[in-house]
Amino acid sequence: MQLHRPPLVVLGASAFFYVAAETLPVGLLPQISAGLHVSEARVGLLLTSYALVAALSTIPLTALTMRIPRHTLIAATVAIFAVSQAAAAFAPTFPVLALSRLICALAHGVFWSVIGPIIARLAPPEQVGRATALTFLGNSLAIVLGVPLGTALGQWLGWRFAVALMAVGGAVCVALLLAVLPQLPPLPRDMAAGPGRQLRNAVRILRDRRVARLCLVTAVLVIGHFTAYTYIAPLVRRDAGLDGTALSALLLGYGVVGLVTTFLAGRHVDRRPGPLLLILLAVQAGAVALLAPVLGAAPTVLATLLWGGAFTAIPVFLGAAPMRVAPTARDAASAVYVVAFQIGIGGGAFVGERLVAAGRLGTLPLLAAVLAVLAGLLVLASREVFPVRISAAEHHRASAAATADTRQA
């Protein structure tokens, strides 16, 4: 079986727009706040509400859509994304903006639940991690280009123009997905089970110790990251006086370093996930801790770049894990992993909002660093999820049942 690169590239482009649109308020907090006459802290809650809806809806909606062909379902989720972004671009009030994002959040969870199993069906067993890394370059590019360019365009032409570009990009991705994705019918086990059974399977998968550990590591790390990242604009403004174009340039650098580390990590994620993940967590913890005191422009820029390099590559390791630890229940494991990630985003944004509202901006990086260390300790205690080394034979054994189902389909 060969690696199907064109579909993976289009999936990566779709991921690019999803990630860029979800996190765009991070770079445009001041513009949205001024344009809709709400506080920056309240704009930060756009991430919390989005993540909450995605977390609550992911498992039931994934179960309800099990019998839909995967190529049709992924295109439908991107189409909903495009429509919701168009509505957000013309939102007259903050509640309408929030509602349009919540509609997008309903599709978001399903998109991220099915993208992992789709990637696994487009790659040979020993290259699932590499295929995941290739697709997740879209995530990194969203940080490299989406957020900084969206921030720059939002400052120049208005935040509505930046959001409208997300809608256009989503529409283009829908057309490309319909053109390049092969036919991906539901697997036989999914056709045989109704939504109720699929929902129970998704809940029961948490009884698997490895899946539960993956979700715990994910939630702890992402809560810490988004506690600080949601308010990176006021953080670097306080620490280094960076705003406007300088902030856009820093976010661009954050993403460029992350893109490089994602590319490098993708070459080894199928072989040594545990040690590499620990290195990235250590770098993130140290870098984000440096943002707690006001050290000046140069240390702030360096710490931010290291933070971007470390965290941007981490989802490659987390996203590949459900395919490896639950090869016969990939959709269910992927769904609960997505829920854990969204709990992390929403929880982090909420905690950050509470601390910022209380005037404790400097506490955000410290909390992020502590939770990164805690995630590292959990990874050390979860070698069955993030092993030191994986052989090709182990990849084939773990994927045997899933491969048999795919061939039947």
Domain ranges of the chain: 5-408
Identify the pLDDT of residue 353. Answer: 81
- Per-residue pLDDT band at 201 (split at 50, 70, 90): low
Least confident of 53-62, 300-309, 329-338, 343-352: 329-338
Identify the pLDDT of residue 86. Answer: 93
Give the model confidence (pLDDT) of 227-242 as tens digits: 998 888 888 888 888 7
CATH architecture of 5-408: Up-down Bundle (1.20)
Identify the pLDDT of residue 229. Answer: 87
Least confident of 50-54, 180-184, 273-277, 305-309: 50-54
Identify the pLDDT of residue 120. Answer: 80
- Per-residue pLDDT band at 221 (split at 50, 70, 90): very high
- Per-residue pLDDT band at 196 (split at 50, 70, 90): low
Identify the pLDDT of residue 406. Answer: 44
Identify the pLDDT of residue 282. Answer: 95
Identify the pLDDT of residue 408. Answer: 43
User: For residues 302 and 186, which has the higher predicted lDDT (pLDDT)?
Assistant: 302
Identify the pLDDT of residue 203. Answer: 65
In three state form, how does the secondary structure of the chain look? CCCCHHHHHHHHHHHHHHHHHHHHHHHCHHHHHHHHCCCHHHHHHHHHHHHHHHHHHHHHHHHHCCCCCHHHHHHHHHHHHHHHHHHHHCCCCHHHHHHHHHHHHHHHHHHHHHHHHHHHHCCCHHHHHHHHHHHHHHHHHHHHHHHHHHHHHHHHHCHHHHHHHHHHHHHHHHHHHHHHCCCCCCCHHHHHCCHHHHHHHHHHHHHCHHHHHHHHHHHHHHHHHHHHHCCHHHHHHHHHCCCCHHHHHHHHHHHHHHHHHHHHHHCCCCCCHHHHHHHHHHHHHHHHHCCCCCCCHHHHHHHHHHHHHHHHHHHHHHHHHHHHHCCCCHHHHHHHHHHHHHHHHHHHHHHHHHHHHCCCCCHHHHHHHHHHHHHHHHHHCCCCCCCCCCCHHHHHHHHHHHHHHHHHC
Mean of the per-residue pLDDT values of the chain: 82
Identify the pLDDT of residue 409. Answer: 42
Identify the pLDDT of residue 200. Answer: 66
Identify the pLDDT of residue 404. Answer: 47
Give yes or no for residue 3 having a pLDDT over 90: no
